[in-house]
Chain A
Amino acid sequence: MIHVQQLTKAYADLKRGQFLAVSGVTFQATAGQIFGLLGPNGAGKTTVLRILSTILRPTSGTAIINGYDLRTQPALIRHQIGFVSTNTAVYDRMTAWEMVEYFGRLYGLADDELRERMERIFLRLQMNDFRDQVGAKMSTGMKQKVSIARAIVHDPPVLIFDEATVGLDVLVARALLKTVMELREQGKCIVFSTHIMREAERLCDKIAIMYRGHILSEGSLPELLERYHETDLEELFFRLLTDYDAAPALAGNPR
């Protein structure tokens, strides 16, 4: 479903000059699977996900998403994905219903089909209580539900969640993770970035540990633990990061 090949993204700033925010990232995710990108802040997770959702263009490398090439067919890829960003990204002066309807129409859904889907999604995500409430008056949980509803209204085969639980209370975060798991059951291919170990452990079928723009290791949780003879994901995570920092020459990446 998703084949990411040698994805690289270079930026420039006053302090570092030209630097690689993402360097040679390669991974694959299939339908019915949650692929977790686990890494600390600044690891390059958001950049990878922004590239996959065609918001940013890669400096080199590419990705094939549901058969479409990221570099040459970004407009077609947008029909295949639903993107839920870190911030809830909700319009302050639109109601929940209007927002989801707006995006449904942007995806070219016909009136009847759109209405039927929205009714179903609003029921499933328990959004009917605030369907006529404007964004400015919603709680963070409500906003995140709207964000998910907007991302799945066109029933995309691929869903991208960028640190979607940041800022949510435990109850709402738990509900969101449940929704993500339900979406996996429906056969969606999900890329889920997080820096919370427990989320990755509970949710992800495959985990890639990212640090300083690189994927340090990738596999299912048991595979990773067995590969490094660790019993705990958190310990493994710290070990990989420490090893990387201790061996800059091996990493080949200027810090």
Chain B
Amino acid sequence: MQWSKIKLIFLRELRDQLRDRRTLFTIAVLPLILYPLLGMSFLQVAQFTREHRSTILLQGADDLPSTPRLLDGENFAAEVCPGSEAQLLRIVPRPSPQPAPAAEELRQEAQKAIRSGQCDAVVYFPHDFGERLAAARAAMDADATSGDAETVSPPPIPEPRVFASTANDKSRIAADRVERILRRWRELMVQQNLRHRNIPLAATEPFHLVDTDVAEEVSRRAVVWSKILPFVVLIWALTGAFYPAIDLCAGEKERGTLETLLSSPALRGEIVWGKLLTVMTFSTATALLNLASIGLTGTFIISRLTSLGGAIRIGLPPLGAMLWLAVALIPISALFSALSLAIAAFARSSKEGQYYLMPLLMITLPLMMIPLLPSVELDWGSSLIPVSGMMLLLRAVIEGQFRDAITHLPSVILVTMACCWLSIRWAIDQFNNEGVIFREGERWSLGAWLRHLWRFRERTPTFGMAILCGVSLLLVRFFASFLIGTPQSWSAFAVVLLATQLALIALPPLLMTGMLTTSWRQTMLLRWPGFPSLFSAVFLALAFHPAALVLHELIQWLYPLSPDVRAAAGTINALAAEAHWLPRLLVLALTPAICEELAFRGFILSGLRHMGHKWGAIVVSSLFFGAVHGMLQQSLSACAVGIVIGYIAVQTGSLLPCILFHVTHNSLVLTVGVHGPRLVDQFPQLRWIYQVQQDQFRYQPYVTIAGLVLAAGFLAWYRLLPFRATEEERLRSLLEHQALRPAAK
């Protein structure tokens, strides 16, 4: 690729976008006017919020004790309600209904009054409230003079009631306000009782609790901004990337200029990089302008609220935080830009492109929301989650937790860069894919599609069928998990597992192979690979197992199992331990190996290879394989194992070595993993291979390293096998190795 061409395309696209009024409005004008307008609205709303009065319907106001006073005329007494609060409350006094209504009747009356807007909350004092209060006090006096607690029955405690609707904000606020006043009134009564019995007031408060905030001023100021700013910036980075991406891809298709550009000497990679830099520029600029605008508006609003004497808990946005956000924006913009470009390349028109924004948002929004959860902190596990890790890192930096930030910076950068690389690669692949670039509109109907699937079956499944199969397996597995209860015995557990594997994992791809393809042999890789491949698969599984165990431990360290999951896993292990070793291996090792290989390395991998990317197909099939395991920790381990098995499948072109690897691996997990500590106790000579530390069973480090070296050797041997490339893989290889300069003569 030539930088001069990338620069040329970038500058043209940049100039083109800058001449587009819609783009300029989104990236420059909108941020500049949006936040000041929002700020103005906020101030107005805040004003209304402060001035809103709550109306309280007070039933039984005529029978309240005179001391301490709750009411002073038609207002709350000053002792229980300071002037500022009194202004926010309006009382509608009513006598208490007689005879006393039932609780449900009272609730319905209050609900009616609140719903009709007559009041925001209802306070009900029973008609004998004053008398019962006096009786309770008299009983306490009698109790104190007699000194015999057993002879005096405790008087019933009076129960005034507050009725409010939690579904209505105004009602909730009114209830809060009136409950605060009632609590103060109750405290006054307690003090009066204590004074009456000559007990010092300090008896109710033996010690004072003193809170001290150790956070620095900067961190205190930054705490709210640390959650808001990364979220706002990332949302705008995504929005700022998507619209230019649609114009640069779908827009070019509509205008017909993409065809001309593709016939020019610019390589597809150069075109993508040029466009990517443009989209990145707009994504970064949009986010930065929003950041600047929100910072300025925030500063203005906080100064205004401070000058008005409002009690605000957030300070001005820290300047350092803004700078860090600007720095972190570059890789995030690159990631969003590449994703947007790849998705926009698929759209035939700008209008169609708009529809694709929602799925992209649906995928990225949860990743942006995770860091907003109160219990989520920056640690090794969270730092490896794309987007979320970056947001948590930014939060740590803004809050001044620099040690945490520096510790996790490499992992966050590594994950972000890896995602960027994958997204850019995907975008380039999209531009190299004729089916995407010259996708033509075709009237789609279910009938025509089903007929097409049946009439024009090919030897192996298509890419779409493979994805459909993977998604179906995940969905079926997800819903089945709600229907299947926890088994109570080994036999029940075995039946559930066999049924799940056969009906939910193996059956769908087998049916799809029979109905949608013409060759069982090619789809399910049913060919004899030769004994060396089979032996190598078994030995590779043996050599790989120590590393798999280390990986498993690492994953559990990064994402620790919750106590509930650990308990559930313990129950399953206990059930498995009940069984004889042979049925255990048959049910837990052999059956999953066969069923899962048929699905993931058979149907799904065969279909995915039509994407023309051997490694892409292996990774995507492994992602499905991992995801079907349900639990995150197990999924990550399975995904890594799936990549190794996928490679064996592609290189040997046969499912048999894959099944052998899988069954060997599962058997090792079941025997060595579960019974390892007992085996080491029984046969101490095994200690040169295994070690047991703090109830953790693992291989000796030198065994793990030797295993890894051996595994690498076996994989290298597989690499030498003449693997059968698909037509798409051959075409892509041809394209990637094309001559760019004339051969020297």
Contacts and interface: CB of A to CB of B under 8 A. Distances in A.
A144 interface: no
Contacts of A42: none
A93 B456 CA distance: 44
Given A14-B448, A72-B734, A83-B263, A91 B5 contact: no
A89 B265 contact: no
B13 to A, nearest CB: 10
A33 interface: no
B488 interface: no
B259 interface: yes
A14 B444 contact: yes
A218 B735 CA distance: 32
B448 A73 contact: no
Could you say which interface size class chain A belongs to? 35 or more
Contact of B263 (A14, A18, A53, A102): A53
A103 B260 CA distance: 10
Interface string B715-745: 0000000000000000100110011111000
B104 interface: no
Given A75-B738, A102-B8, A54 B266 contact: no
Contact of B738 (A53, A74, A88, A90): A74
A152 to B, nearest CB: 13
Nearest to A151: B260
Given A14-B449, A54-B263, A72 B738 contact: yes
A150 B266 contact: no
Contacts of B438: 55-56
A252 interface: no
A106 interface: yes
B237 to A, nearest CB: 24
A89 B448 contact: no
A91 B263 contact: no
B1 to A, nearest CB: 11
B507 interface: no
Nearest to B456: A17
B265 A85 contact: no
A85 B734 CA distance: 26
A14 to B, nearest CB: 4
Nearest to A81: B263
B262 interface: yes
B255 A12 contact: no
A94 B260 CA distance: 15
Contacts of B259: 50, 55, 83, 85, 89
A223 interface: no
A102 B12 contact: yes
A139 B242 CA distance: 31
Contacts of B5: 106
Interface in B1-50: 5, 8-9, 12, 15-16, 19-20
A53 B8 CA distance: 21
A73 B50 CA distance: 73
B264 interface: yes
Nearest to B451: A14
Contacts of B738: 72-75
Given A102-B8, A102-B12, A75 B265 contact: yes
A218 B264 CA distance: 29
Contacts of B731: 57
Given A73-B739, A75-B739, A91 B266 contact: no
Contact of A89 (B9, B257, B434, B741): B257
B264 A107 contact: yes
A71 B739 CA distance: 10
12 contacts: A14-B448, A55-B263, A56-B438, A83-B263, A85-B256, A86-B256, A88-B256, A89-B257, A89-B259, A89-B260, A91-B255, A93-B16
Q: Which 9 A-B pairs have the closest CB atoms?
A: A17-B456, A87-B256, A89-B256, A93-B19, A83-B263, A53-B263, A89-B260, A14-B452, A78-B265
Interface of A: 12-15, 17-18, 50, 53-57, 68, 71-76, 78-79, 81, 83, 85-94, 102-103, 105-108, 134, 147, 150
